[in-house]
Chains A and B, each alone.
Chain A
Amino acid sequence: MVKDKVFVITGTRKGIGKSLSEYYLDKGNIVIGCSRGEGSINHKNYTHYTLDVSDEKAVVNMIRDVRKKFGRIDILLNNAGIASMNHIITTPYKTVDNIFKTNFYGTFLFTREVAKVMMKHKKGRIVNFATVATPLRLEGEAIYASSKAAIENFTEIMARELADFGITVNAVGPTPVPTDLIKNVPEEKINALLERQAIRRFGTFEDVVNVIDFFIDDKSDFITGQIVYLGGVVK
Chain B
Amino acid sequence: MKIVVDWDRCEANGVCVRAAPESFHLDDKDQLHVLTETVPPELRAKVDKAILGCPKQALSLSED
A and B bind: no
A residues sitting closer than 8 Å to B (CB atoms) are: none
